[in-house]
Amino acid sequence: MKLIWKRMWKKKSLKMELKAAKKTNLKKNLTSTDLAALGIGAVLGTGIFVSTGVGAHMAGPAVVLSFIVAAITSGLCALTYAELATMFPVAGSTYTYSYIAFGEIIAWIIGWDLMLEYLVSSAAVASGWSGTFVGLLSSAGLDLPKVISVGPSAGGIIDLPAVLIVGLVTWILFIGIKESAKLNNVIVLIKIGVIVLFIVLGVFHISVANYRPFSPFGWKGVMAGASIMFFAYIGFDAVSTAAEETINPKRDVPRGLAICLGVVIVLYVAVAIVITGMVPFKEISQNNAIPDALKQFGINWGAALVGTGAVIGMISTLLVMLYGQIRVFMVMSRDGLLPKVFSKVHPVHKTPTLCTIITGSIAAIMTGLLPLEEIIKLCNIGTLFAFILVSIGVIVLRKTMPDAERKFRCPWVPFIPILTIVACVYLMTALPLETWIRFIIWLSLGLAIYFLYGRHHSILQHSKPRQYSDAN
């Protein structure tokens, strides 16, 4: 029993991780611009187009503060991510960092948690895309039958548009990451363009009276809004999952993260100020907030243009979410914790074939059948948990690997990581009890899989003691 316990905490060396990455032979062709666009593509999507209205109803005009609180938490997390990503320029993000910092059992837990984050995020984004797309068709006089346009929870059988968009994005990812990045860069420009258009059109219709009362539900409302609006920032960590496919990861990953969050924070705060100034917060649409605000002022052409941009823009968010899931899936398979067949790379496209197909299929089933509201909460708790482990990892590795090269160093360690942990825990406490219960059930299922399969097939567990040591 003692031996089993010891093996569960066995750590992977950096040399072993780099050796495994070299064998996988992924293409290295992404730049800091690609990474910034990848992050913006992930972050700037469903959160701003769909959930802004939800946050406004919870916090009132003070949803601006909700965005800022969530932004501060995300910014602190980005500092810790940047340090670890430059130390370990390989695929897998938090999973890989945890394997080196804490050992196999924690790595498995965080890997399983990341699967929840990315899969659930993909389902939420696809569902949000479908709602916006169906709304656009309806405004053009084309009404899809309810039975094929919404899931069972809304009275339909399957959300077919959501399933189809997941299938399309999965095919794009199968073709190759560089091709995917090019498409993403174009979509990001469109997405930023329509948001700027909304800000420019809306700023002339702001009424100061709509800001009173500014915080009708007090600080509790602000934090409740922040716990939901945190969803709007989810995805920037996908930048670190692309480290193995980046030309100069030690330079480009921190730069990409900084550009991504800087652009997103400015746009989010500006949108929140404009929309709560245009429309009394109780009248803001919870499903189609930004286009609806323009419609209320008779700016129908602007609403149609912004709605179209949102439909296009959310495709890039979905692309990055699925990309992150596929890469984590691949690395866990490469380590033997999941069947090895999942880490095989296509000989032409140089992408993980079966891993991509399975991920896309599961995401399609989830988005076709599950409701959106609870998905967002579950996604948030999983992401915050991952951020906590990353922050702890920075502190631990400063002690266990003090001489390791760090092209970017998180400032004021351990103060910044501890502050990040406190902020994440604070946001987690604002989530309802049922979300916590579902999260615990998911983690329990993951642990069962680890003990039944992963522990017995782990490459690390079956390696010779010094086979992959950093000293070799």
Domains of the chain: 28-457 (1.20.1740.10)
pLDDT of residue 1: 61
Say if CB 246 and CB 35 are below 8 A apart.
yes
246 - beta bridge partners? 30
Per-residue pLDDT at 22: 62
Cβ atoms of 95 and 335 within 8 Å: the answer is no
For position 471, what pLDDT does the model report?
A: 35
Q: What is the pLDDT of residue 198?
A: 94
The pLDDT tens digits for 213-266 are 999 999 999 988 888 888 788 777 767 666 667 777 778 878 888 888 888 889
Q: Mean pLDDT, 10 residues at a time, over the chain (472 residues)?
A: 69 70 64 81 73 87 93 88 78 76 89 84 83 79 85 82 92 71 76 92 95 93 87 74 71 83 90 95 83 89 87 80 82 88 78 85 84 72 87 91 84 94 90 89 93 91 55 35
Residue 339: Cβ within 10 Å count: 12
- The reported pTM is 0.79
The span from the CA of 389 to the CA of 92, in Å, is: 14
Take residue 153 and report the two structure tokens written for it: 């929870």
Instruction: Give, in order, the Cα–Cα distances in Å from 142 to each of 127, 130, 136, 152, 295.
Output: 19, 14, 9, 22, 19
Q: Write out the DSSP string of 3-45.
A: HHHHHHTPPPPHHHHHHHHHHHT----B-HHHHHHHHHHHHSS
The dihedral region occupied by 399, where left means phi > 0, alpha psi between -120 and 50, and beta the remainder, is alpha
25: left (phi over 0), alpha (psi -120 to 50) or beta: left
Return phi, psi of residue 415, to 5°. Answer: -60, -50
Predicted pLDDT at 342: 84
Q: pLDDT tens digits, residue range 102-125?
A: 889 999 998 898 888 888 888 888
Give the model's pLDDT for residue 320. 75
